[in-house]
A and B are shown apart, each in its own frame.
Chain A
Amino acid sequence: MELKEKLRILSDAAKYDVSCSSSGSSRKNTKGGIGNGVSSGICHSWADDGRCISLLKILYSNYCIYDCSYCINRASNDLPRASFTPEEVAELTINFYRRNYIEGLFLSSAVEKNPDYTMERLLKTVRLLREEYKFNGYIHLKAIPGADLKLIREAGRYADRMSVNIELPSRKSLKLLAPQKKMDSIINPMKEIGNNIMENKEDRKKYKNTFNFVPAGQSTQLIVGASPESDFQILKLSEKLYEKYFLKRVYYSAYIPVSKDNNLPRLDKPPLMREHRLYQADWLLRFYGFKAVELLDKKNPDLDTRLDPKANWALNNLKFFPVEVNKADYEMLLRVPGIGIKSARRIVKARRTGSLDYYDLQKFGTVLKRARYFITCNGKYYGGIPFREDIIKERLLKGTDIGIKQLSLFNDRVPVPSIVNLLPLSSGGINK
């Protein structure tokens, strides 16, 4: 088979993996080598669906022994199949990289023959790239569930990021839709990678020449809307993954009907708005100091599709508002609807040079459309309406006629360098 056809088949098969992030690693180039990592990540293009293209995202193979009903590559699907060789993947990566098409490689695979066989092929490929080609660009590698943990550990020495997809938010759904996969075979490699990252961090403090194990951390992905779990269940799961296994990112993927199966819901369109709200809530967990139980509970288990989760929280907690922009601490500013990390930082820095009034905020680009109802500037309230939940809510809803088109559905954008330059970021960073 020609390389071009393989590339078509195996990138087509890989595109439902959401992650394309190339951030979090600042791997240095080596002598005689090619490539390096940029910790903010770099997007190289944007596909017609608006998603960023940063990495050469391909499957090593789409021959699969499993028959998971939500997956396009399921064994019973009749579609063209192909496998790369390690050399082909390496040549493609290097030649794309030299032309600056990509930031690196995202290599995943269907389970060909068995998990160990597949993981060995992936390992062989990344080793070839790192050792023979001296490639130091970004590599995101999938860990194959069920593969020997030794192979996964070995692969972690070469990858910048690793991920194991959790696929579905509960054991029950996984059993129903992917009966050949076991939740444990997903969780175990995740634990293994998490533990190794932590150990490696300690080692690197003690010994200077220790290699770097998965420096950009691990991520995972789950499908939203193929199974009955609520947003509350999903967010609690994500929160646990962040806390227990130190994940960098959980990606959410609105279910797109790719095969017909009686266990799957029939949808006309992928639930994009739900996915978007989950990303917003996820952002609140990671960068805004929120807990899942603050956003949702058993009585209200799903995010409001009409209002963003922060605005919702604020309306339910009006007792904390309005906050005085000249006094409120950074954490509280972050909780004001419409004020993001960039604005909060800017406010904190600017007010050191003098007190800020409403027009100052306006001038330096704080989006006040929503924030105005929740703040005071030097004691003055600029909302222009009575400070009451129902009235503010009505205003906010009126202002949210944004069509789905304007939403960034994949929050894979890298922060503009200006943010990075304005303030030294803590090790957490913004898009890692």
Chain B
Amino acid sequence: MIYYLYDGTFPGLLTALYEAFYSSKAPDKILRKTDYKDNLFAEKVNIRTDQNKADKVYNAIKKKISSPSLKIVYYSFLSELKDVEILIYYYLKLGFKMGSKVENYIIDEKILKLVQVRDKVARERHRLLGLIRFRKLNKQLFYAPIEPDYNIVTLLAPHFSSRLPDQNWIIHDLKREIAVIYNQREWVLTGLSKREVMYDQEELFYQDLWREFFNSIVIKNRKNSSLQRQFMPKRYWKYLIEKK
């Protein structure tokens, strides 16, 4: 069994894929270094991330397969699901043969699986575009804590940088201790540990108004909590102003 071990970054994965296509030892598994547990039968190949090789794979997917396929690869990488890397490898092997048709080749179970993973990540991204709540902190900074299932902060950042370009804001993934930070010009991804925050004085005023609105907009004759939870699962309530 040949195990490729990469650093957990997207360029790292692309480099691993590059090696998979060009070396004589094709991988049976591609794993993050941190996920690897010693295994008697494993022949380890350490992948050193190489931006050049990563760019080559990136461009090849875009040109020889399609942009939607690149999206499938990136989104499923962000799912961080177990063994998703080897599915990506399989997808690309087929994709370089079939071209863009591979996106619709869902009678192949592995392709279908990957498309479904892409859907899951896309769905959570869309959900959080609505469910993120910024809190205004001192010093004109807006702060939104989240704990998403998938690693989607980088998918959220472009939306908010075009929508709220005149605000400084941080979207903080507390589960992964990473954040996207925007300074009214550009956003960057960075590591960020949990910390205490101090609210601006008008913050509580608006939170209070929002809760008032949330409660008075309900039609009581039509109460339907299970429908509410179906759309807005409880795991997201922790950081919702209106549900606290």
- Which residues in A have some Cβ–Cβ distance to B below 8 Å? 3-4, 7-8, 11-12, 14-16, 29, 32, 34-36, 38, 40, 42-54, 56-57, 92, 95-96, 98-101, 103, 137, 256, 269-270, 272, 346, 349-350, 352-354, 356, 360, 363-364, 405-409, 413-414, 416-418, 421
4 additional A-B pairs beyond A32-B166, A44-B130, A406-B227, beta carbons within 8 Å, are: A38-B159, A46-B228, A51-B222, A270-B221
* CA A417 to CA B155, docked complex, whole Å: 13
Do the beta carbons of B166 and A34 come within 8 Å of each other?
Answer: yes
28 A/B residue pairs, CB under 8 Å, sorted by A: A8-B212, A12-B216, A29-B163, A32-B166, A34-B163, A36-B162, A44-B130, A46-B231, A49-B219, A49-B222, A49-B224, A50-B224, A50-B231, A51-B219, A98-B167, A100-B132, A256-B219, A270-B222, A346-B106, A350-B107, A363-B109, A363-B112, A405-B226, A405-B227, A406-B226, A407-B227, A413-B231, A416-B119
B residues less than 8 Å from A36 (CB atoms): 162-163
**Which A residues are in CB contact (< 8 Å) with B134?**
98-100
Residues 223 to 244 of chain B near chain A (Cβ within 8 Å): 223-228, 230-232, 240-242
Q: Does B209 contact A (CB under 8 A)?
A: yes
Q: Does B90 contact A (CB under 8 A)?
A: no
Q: Mark B130-141, 1 if CB is under 8 A from A, else 0.
A: 111111100000
Assembled-state Cα–Cα distance A417/B118 (Å) = 10
Asked if B175 is at the interface (CB within 8 A of a chain A CB), the reply is no
Would you call A29 and B216 a contact (CB within 8 A)?
Answer: no
- Interface set, chain B 16-51, CB cutoff 8 A to A: none
B220 contacts across to A, CB distance below 8 A:
49
Report if B194 contacts A (CB, 8 A): no
Is there a chain A Cβ closer than 8 Å to B201's Cβ? no
What per-residue 1/0 map shows which CB atoms of B141-155 lie under 8 Å from chain A? 010100000000000
Check B198 for interface membership: any CB of A closer than 8 A: no
| Distance between B102 CB and nearest chain A CB, rounded to angstroms | 9
Alpha-carbon separation in the docked complex, A416 to B231 (Å):
11
Nearest Cβ in chain B — how far from A354, in angstroms? Answer: 5
**Which residues of chain A are within 8 angstroms of B180 by Cβ–Cβ distance?**
none
Q: Interface size on B (CB < 8 Å)?
A: 59
B197 at the A interface (CB under 8 A):
no
**Stretch from B2-10, B76-84, B120-128 contacting the other chain:** B120-128
- Max count, chain B CB within 10 A of own CB: residue among A50, A95, A409: A50
Q: Are B133 and A100 in contact (CB under 8 A)?
A: yes
CB contact between B210 and one of A50, A57, A96 (< 8 Å): that residue: A96
CA distance A327 to B222 in the complex (A): 43
Q: When the two chains form their complex, are residues B118 and A49 in contact, meaning their CB atoms are under 8 A apart?
A: no
Indicate if the CB atoms of B164 and A98 lie closer than 8 Å.
yes
- Chain B residues within an 8 Å CB radius of A103: 130
Judged by a CB distance under 8 angstroms, whether B71 is at the interface is yes
Instruction: Using CB atoms, name the residue of chain A closest to B119.
Output: A418
Contact in complex: A34, B164 (CB < 8 Å): yes
B218 and A15 contact, CB distance less than 8 A? yes
Chain B residues positioned under 8 Å from A414 (CB to CB) = 126
Chain A residues with Cβ under 8 A from B119's Cβ? 416, 418
Q: Mark B170-209, 1 if CB is under 8 A from A, else 0.
A: 0000000000000000000000000000000000001011
Query: Is there contact, CB below 8 Å, between B167 and A42?
Result: no
Interface contact A29-B162, CB-CB below 8 Å: yes
User: Is A35 within 8 A of B163, CB to CB?
Assistant: yes
B208 → chain A, closest Cβ, in Å?
7
Q: How far is the CA of A95 from the CA of B206 in the complex (A)?
A: 7
Given contacts A34-B164, A101-B133, A405-B224, contact A15 B126 (CB under 8 A): no
- Cβ proximity bits B88-130 to A, threshold 8 Å, 1 near / 0 not: 0000000000000100111101001000001100110110011
State whether B166 touches A43 (Cβ < 8 A). no
Task: List 5 A-B pairs, minimum CB-CB distance, nearest first.
Answer: A50-B227, A50-B224, A418-B119, A49-B222, A44-B130
Complex CA gap A56/B135 in Å reads 18
**A413 to chain B: closest CB distance in Å?**
7
In Å, the complex CA distance between A119 and B41 comes to 77
Q: A356 vs B225: C-alpha distance in the bound complex, in angstroms?
A: 39
| Closest A residue, CB atoms, query B206 | A95
Q: How far does the Cβ of A82 sit from chain B's closest Cβ, in whole Å?
A: 12
Q: Are the C-beta atoms of B129 and A42 separated by less than 8 Å?
A: yes
CA distance A42 to B225 in the complex (A): 20
Give Cα distance in the complex from A413 to B228, angstroms: 12
Question: How far apart are A410's CB and chain B's nearest CB, in angstroms?
Answer: 9
Contacts of A51 in B (CB 8 A): 217, 219, 222
